[in-house]
Amino acid sequence: PVRVFDDGKKTYFQMPNEMSVAEAPVLFLIDEHGEPMLVNYRVKGVYYIVDRLFQRAQMRVGKEGIVSIYSKGYEPSLFERLF
């Protein structure tokens, strides 16, 4: 991604303008055990939009292309802390 940011509720991944659908990465969130899990997201223009905040994620293209993303300011919600 070119840039990753949030608005306090959703996370936005800005992708390169020249990226084609064939080379678009798949987004995974990383759980508390370090395991990747698929997450629902939508693509709007050059943005991937996730309807939540998270601490860690990965974008993957094939088996070799992996980019790890970490949120330094992530605070789990009360719901996430309880469950």
Domain ranges, ordered by start, for the chain: 3-82
At 24-66, the pLDDT tens digits run: 889 999 998 999 999 999 999 999 999 999 889 999 887 777 7
Q: List the alpha helices (DSSP H) in the chain.
A: 78-82
Q: What letter does residue 63 receive in the DSSP assignment?
A: T
- Reading the block at residue 50, the tokens are 């996730």
* pTM of the predicted protein model: 0.76
From residue 71, alpha-carbon distances to 4, 6, 56, 63 in Å are 9, 10, 6, 24
At residue 18 the predicted structure's pLDDT band, cuts being 50, 70 and 90, is: confident
CATH 2.60.40.2500 fits 3-82, yes or no: yes
- What gap in Å lies between CA 66 and CA 49, rounded to an integer? 19
Taking the alpha carbons at both ends of the chain, their separation in whole angstroms is 30
